[in-house]
A and B are shown apart, each in its own frame.
Chain A
Amino acid sequence: DIEVTQSPSSLSASVGDRVTITCRASHSIDSYVHWYQHKPGNAPKLLIYGASHLQSGVPSRFRGDGSGTEFSLTIDNLQPEDFATYYCQQTFRPPVSFGGGTRVDI
């Protein structure tokens, strides 16, 4: 099985900051990595698919990079509505796996 390790598990930031979250896969997963934003009680929201493709309707301050085993999600100019938990997901090979999540708070 492919393991996905996400870091950090939490971080504190301020409005206007740039934050970067990383995901490392135990095997090469090409570009089959996606990033989601999740707020309590709500459904997760797709931000980035295929490692670097911005999902329609998602602000351009969200950016995804990487391929192979190392991936990152960068949020520029952090906004109040961006405080949430973020997950990476690999769909290269079943079983699909999520990273452990990164909680972004003030």
Chain B
Amino acid sequence: QVHLEQSGAEVLKPGASVTVSCKTSGYTFNRYGISWVRQAPGHGLEWMGWISVYNGNTVYADKLQGRLTLTADTSASTVYMELRSLRSDDTALYFCARRERRFGESDSWGQGTHVSVSS
């Protein structure tokens, strides 16, 4: 069955960078994209961006342009999310999700990774 396993919780200081991994299994890796979504405490879901694993193309949310990089390692069936120059408002629960090809919905999700940014 489809499974997405994310790396563990991170605690970082402002200005640092974080990389969260999303290891997939149970399906053909390069036939689907991977989206990233986060939820800050007390807030709703925020779309961050997505990567086409097939060709490496990426689309990022405007507010994260320049700080966010998504990459894929096809040999490991894993996608990485790097967020740089962290601020306190980046504190959130981060999710990766498989992106379906036809409509772009997210049908399978990782368990979430807590990222806490505090001085």
Contact = CB atoms under 8 A, between A and B. Distances in A.
- A and B together in one complex: yes
Interface of A: 1, 31-32, 34, 36, 38, 41-46, 49-50, 55, 85, 87, 89, 91, 94-101
A50 B103 contact: yes
Interface of B: 35, 37, 44-47, 50, 59, 61-62, 93, 95, 97, 100, 102-107, 109-112
Contact of B35 (A32, A42, A96): A96
Contacts, number: 66
Contacts of A38: 45
9 contacts: A31-B103, A34-B105, A43-B97, A46-B106, A55-B107, A95-B59, A98-B45, A99-B44, A101-B45
A46 B35 CA distance: 14
Nearest to B93: A41
Contacts of B112: 41-43
B64 to A, nearest CB: 10
B105 A89 contact: yes
B59 A94 contact: yes
B59 A87 contact: no
A75 B50 CA distance: 30
